């Protein structure tokens, strides 16, 4: 008989709605698992047990009222989840992964948290991340690194590595993440999960740290496409003061509706080679990409290999904007001394970025989006690439505290496919289809036109249904 954490989030929500399971019992199940397993894993920075039980009790009361009145609640009503500790939850510890903010407490709910409350979800806790979500691993000065549930010597990726590890290990059925350069999709690939990065403006970034560059968006991590789509639905929606807002989906409906529909026959552009100079595609990731291309063709889609030239100007533009993002955190001198070497390096880089360079970087972002629209999306519906250029790395392998510039270059070579969707604001989904000979997950990525998440989730669900594990199992934790 399956344990509660083996059920999908939507199965859990349906059981709660039908009165077969209480949110309190489900929440206690996850809190017990976190208490037993997370000391070794390091997925959570803060566990909000009292708040979770309070929210679960309220969810059960609302569910009983809804059954009596015949009203319909969110499909995730009463379902527990985890939230990345880059967003504020009122009266809950809020570190942004930095030792400088070890004891900071959230003043308010960020809009995405407000949406999750309105959907009736239950907050298990705040998940681990690297400092200010800047690197693509999950190591910081607050404590031990987050481990990959598939191999304790490996990193779960980042920056939403704590969220991904929690879901993969069965310490949450699904989790919120943020993605400014691949930070949802990278750990999704490394931990064998679905990771959805929605279109720019689909989910509000306000109110406390609105991203004027458009790089960052909130995203969803789950074991199935349908679960991840339901979480995006719960988080999505325009809020007062939003800088960007995405239009409704083509054809209407929810993203979950589209995840349950067949995609029809699509034209798919396969981009095997990285667009970053000197990045090398590992044979394991190439094999996963090749297998996905074959499967898509067998499903009736047209897959054509396309070559796009590597462009160092894109890396330079991202570096300029990303360094300014690192410098945007206001710190006292004593807090500056607590920063990780990579963060301090990026803040120093920002000091040399001129206003004209920053303006040109943002123009480059818009130019890349126009290029993809003109050259690819006029002829194709979807872009297929590897998610990462390498399998999950060893913990500490991407870090170079003595040479942060070399660390940046190393990370860029590791994740050469993901950032283009942040520059452009286009949606992308990482899908878990393969494991390499060492048993490590290896994802592939689907990218689409602006606001066309429906095509991506429909295709991703179709792809996931071809795998031996439509609902990926939780790894045996070492």
- The per-residue pLDDT for range 95-126, each reduced to its tens digit, is 999 999 999 999 999 999 999 999 999 999 99
Question: Peptide bond before 207: cis, by omega within 30 degrees of 0?
Answer: yes
Q: What is the pLDDT of residue 212?
A: 85
pLDDT in tens, 35-77: 999 999 999 999 999 999 999 999 999 999 999 999 999 999 9
* pLDDT of 12 above 90: yes
pLDDT band at 456 (very low <50, low <70, confident <90, very high): very high
Q: What is the pLDDT of residue 2?
A: 78
Taking a C-beta distance cutoff of 8 angstroms, is the pair 181, 415 a contact?
yes
pLDDT band at 472 (very low <50, low <70, confident <90, very high): low
DSSP assignment of 262-298, as one string?
A: ---S-EEEE--S-SSTT----HHHHHHHHHHHHHHHH
CA atoms within 13 A on the CB side of 1: 2
Residues near 31 by beta carbon (within 8 Å), at least 6 away in sequence = 47, 49, 52, 53, 124
Q: How far apart are CA 16 and CA 408, in angstroms?
A: 45
Residue 156 to residues 52, 108, 111, 150, 394: CA-CA distances in angstroms? 25, 29, 27, 9, 9
Beta strands in 354-410 (DSSP E): 382-386
Q: What is the pLDDT of residue 471?
A: 60
Which residues lie across from 446 on neighbouring strands? Answer: 384, 429
DSSP assignment of 314-365, as one string?
A: HHHHHHHHHHHHHHTS---HHHHTTS-HHHHHHHHHHHT--HHHHHHHHHHH
User: How many Cβ atoms are within 10 Å of 477's Cβ, its own excluded?
Assistant: 17
Longest alpha-carbon distance in the chain: 63
pLDDT band at 478 (very low <50, low <70, confident <90, very high): low
pLDDT in tens, 240-295: 999 899 999 988 899 999 999 999 999 999 999 998 998 999 999 999 999 999 99
Q: How far apart are CA 236 and CA 202, in angstroms?
A: 6
pLDDT in tens, 296-331: 999 999 999 999 888 889 999 999 999 999 999 999
pLDDT in tens, 405-449: 999 999 999 999 999 999 999 999 999 999 999 999 999 999 999
Phi-psi region of 471 (alpha: psi -120 to 50; beta: other; left: phi over 0): beta
Residue 441 to residues 169, 179, 435: CA-CA distances in angstroms? 13, 20, 4
Dig out the tokens for 273 from the structure: 């080679």
Four-residue CA torsion sign, 45, 49, 54, 57:
positive
> Which active-site residues does the annotation give?
84, 159, 183
Residue 253 to residues 87, 261, 381: CA-CA distances in angstroms? 28, 11, 20
Q: Poorest-confidence range of 207-221, 239-253, 370-384, 458-472?
A: 458-472
Higher pLDDT: 474 or 58? It is 58
Q: What is the pLDDT of residue 473?
A: 66
Q: What is the pLDDT of residue 266?
A: 98
Q: How far apart are CA 478 and CA 471, in angstroms?
A: 20
Q: What is the pLDDT of residue 309?
A: 86
Which residues lie across from 148 on neighbouring strands? Answer: 151
Taking a C-beta distance cutoff of 8 angstroms, is the pair 4, 21 a contact?
yes
Domains of the chain: 9-467 (3.90.1300.10)
The percentage of the chain sitting over the pLDDT mark of 90, rounded to a whole number, equals 93
Taking a C-beta distance cutoff of 8 angstroms, is the pair 418, 185 a contact?
yes
Q: Poorest-confidence range of 142-156, 183-197, 456-470?
A: 456-470
Q: What is the pLDDT of residue 475?
A: 80
Q: What is the pLDDT of residue 369?
A: 95
SS3 85: coil
């Amino acid at each position: 008989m399956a344990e509660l954490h083996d059920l999908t989030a939507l199965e859990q929500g349906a059981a709660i709605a039908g009165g077969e399971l209480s949110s309190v019992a489900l929440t206690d199940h996850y809190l017990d698992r976190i208490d037993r397993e997370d000391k070794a894993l390091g997925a959570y920075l803060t566990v909000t047990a009292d708040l979770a039980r309070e929210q679960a009790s309220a969810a059960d009361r609302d569910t009983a009222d809804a059954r009596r009145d015949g009203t319909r609640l969110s499909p995730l009503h009463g379902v527990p989840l985890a939230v990345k500790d880059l967003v504020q939850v009122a009266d809950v510890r809020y570190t942004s992964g930095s030792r400088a903010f070890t004891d900071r407490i959230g003043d308010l709910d960020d809009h995405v948290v407000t949406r999750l409350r309105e959907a009736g979800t239950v907050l298990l806790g705040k998940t681990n991340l690297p400092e200010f979500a800047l690197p693509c691993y999950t190591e910081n000065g607050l404590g031990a690194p987050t481990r990959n549930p598939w191999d304790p010597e490996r990193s779960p990726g980042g920056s939403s590595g704590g969220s991904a590890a929690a879901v993969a290990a069965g310490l949450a059925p699904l989790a919120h993440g943020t993605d400014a350069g691949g930070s949802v999709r990278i750990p999704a690939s490394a931990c064998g999960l679905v990771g959805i990065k929605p279109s720019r403006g689909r989910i509000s970034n306000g109110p406390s740290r609105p991203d004027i560059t458009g790089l960052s968006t909130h995203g969803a991590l789950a074991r199935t496409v349908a679960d991840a789509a339901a979480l995006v639905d719960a988080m999505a929606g325009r809020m007062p003061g939003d800088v960007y807002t995405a239009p409704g989906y083509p054809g209407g409906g929810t993203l979950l509706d589209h995840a349950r529909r067949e995609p029809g026959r699509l034209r798919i552009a396969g981009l095997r080679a990285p667009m970053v100079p000197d990045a090398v595609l590992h044979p394991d990731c190439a094999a996963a990409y090749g297998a996905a291309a074959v499967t898509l063709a067998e499903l009736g889609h047209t897959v054509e290999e396309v070559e796009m030239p590597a462009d160092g100007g894109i890396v330079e533009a991202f570096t300029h904007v990303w360094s300014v993002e690192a410098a945007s955190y206001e710190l006292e001198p004593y807090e500056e001394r607590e920063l990780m070497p990579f963060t301090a390096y990026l803040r120093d880089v920002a000091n040399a970025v001129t206003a004209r360079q920053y303006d040109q970087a943002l123009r480059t972002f818009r130019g890349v989006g126009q290029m993809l629209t003109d050259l690819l999306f006029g002829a194709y519906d979807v872009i297929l690439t590897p998610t990462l250029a390498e399998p999950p790395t060893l913990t500490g392998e991407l870090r170079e505290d003595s040479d942060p510039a070399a660390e940046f270059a190393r990370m860029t070579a590791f994740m050469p496919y993901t950032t283009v969707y942040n520059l452009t604001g286009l949606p992308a989904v990482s899908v878990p289809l393969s494991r390499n000979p060492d048993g490590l997950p290896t994802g592939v990525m689907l990218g689409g036109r602006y606001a066309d998440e429906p095509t991506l989730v429909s295709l991703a669900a179709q792809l996931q249904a071809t795998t031996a594990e439509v609902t990926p199992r939780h790894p045996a934790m070492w």
